[in-house]
Amino acid sequence: MLRTTHLALLVLLLGTSISQTVAIGYGKLCDLKPLGAGWDDTDQVESAISRCGKYGLTTLATGNYNITRKMTWDLSYSRVDLHGYLNFQPDIDYWMQNSSTYRVVNIQNQASWFIVTGNDFIIDAHNTGGIDGNGQPWWEYFTTVPRLDGDGRPISLTLSHVTRGVVQDFRIVSPPFWANTVSDSTDVVYDGMYVNATNTNATFAGQNIVPNTDGIDTYRAKNVQLLNWDITCGDDSIAIKGNSSNIAIKNLVVRGGNGIAFGSLGQYVQFNDLVENVSIENATLLRLPSSVQPNLNNGVYFKSFDGNSTGLPPTAGGGGGGYCRDITLKDFKLHNVSVPTQIYQSNDGHTGDTPSYLKFSNISYINWSGTTAGKALVKIACSANARCGGISF
């Protein structure tokens, strides 16, 4: 059943059209069951979304839906009940071909194998479904092959050019790369997101072989709510990237990884990165047993490239300006974090480089508690070209 809170939200989002939708119900209904082991479900899933993704209700029953190629859901005034898993097959050679993924996230040339776009929709996975990225073979493969930004490892779930969308009670297990991205979108709510990138091969116990498994990266996103998230990963649990504004994050549990990141910012010399009005409230960061995940590097950290443009994105860059301001970090509990918080402005930098042109300001830390694994509680190294201001503890 649709949550009352999200029904109320959708009423606000849809405006006057909600009365018509409620009155007539969904005009089209599509029901699916998985075909079973060894079968390809991509065609039937795409067909159902094509028929019922606009002004319709699509229901995918429990089980695994084997997905073998890139897929887009174009949704409008519709609902998808995803009780099972979209099971993306781990054919690494296939997925790493440029033609096998989309390149719609316009930062670092990142790849996506599943895009949701459109307006006024709800995707509800009921805490029983979502995406299985089958990441283990990916992680093991890249223990011997170099990892590079933009190399083709796919983002599991990409919301691109979405207006008024809700994703709730969704699970992403074993993502090969970033679990989520929201880009070029506005008025989006994620409520109830579970992400788990955990190595299960004892050969690699005590190593972080799951880097770049970010919980979510936001880019060119406005009015986004991230509510009730549980993230186990080997990198940034949340990464707020350029031109993200009015981002509200509440009730967050992070297990391992690099912590919560603002950045990296200032990578593109031709663009300013503008980040503002971000609030994070009620966050708990927990260190896992070292055999499972050795890292819990930060609570919250802010990072920008320096003022030199050295090389080209996606693997290098720098020299970009802009700001990151009006940030509220409230009610944090940290367990054995290496550095609770830091600001550094020399990402990928070199001795003698020009200081960063990106300014961090108006950052409020409210009611923090917990333990640290190191000696430093706070590390701040701001740029001489864009001095920090208004940081309060």
Residue 86 lies in a domain: yes
Q: What is the chain's mean pLDDT, rounded?
A: 94
At residue 6, the pLDDT reads 52
Residue 105 lies in a domain: yes
As a whole number of angstroms, the distance between CA 62 and CA 129 comes to 7
Residue 255 lies in a domain: yes
At residue 16, the pLDDT reads 30
| 242-262 tens-digit pLDDT | 999 999 999 999 999 999 999
At residue 26, the pLDDT reads 81
Residue 9 lies in a domain: no
Mean pLDDT of 89-116: 97
What order do you get walking across the sheet with 102-105 strand by strand?
A: 102-105, 110-112, 154-155
Catalytic residue among 151, 169, 235, 273: 235
SS3 for 73-132 is: EEEEEEEEEECCEEEECCCHHHHCCHHHCEEEECCCCEEECEEEEEEEEEEECCCCCEEE
Provide CB contacts within 8 A for 117, sequence distance 6+. Answer: 72, 73, 74, 75, 159, 160, 161, 162
| 308-341 tens-digit pLDDT | 998 889 889 999 999 999 999 999 999 999 999 9
At residue 346, the pLDDT reads 86
Residue 13 lies in a domain: no
Structure tokens at 136: 């283990």
Mean pLDDT of 213-233: 99
- How many domains are there within the chain? 1
Mean pLDDT of 154-158: 99
Residue 158, domain extent: 19-392
Q: Is 269 helix (H, G, I), strand (E, B) or coil?
A: coil
Contact 147, 171 (CB under 8 A): no
Q: Which of 64, 15, 75, 17 is nearest to 40 (CA)?
A: 64
At residue 5, the pLDDT reads 47
Mean pLDDT of 83-105: 98
Residue 187 lies in a domain: yes
Q: Could you tell me the CATH number of the domain that includes residue 348?
A: 2.160.20.10
Name the band, by pLDDT with cuts 50, 70 and 90, for residue 10.
low
Residue 8 lies in a domain: no
What is the distance, to the nearest Å, from the Cα of residue 185 to the centroid of all Cα atoms in its chain? Answer: 13
Residue 126 lies in a domain: yes
For the question of residue 169 being annotated catalytic, the response is no
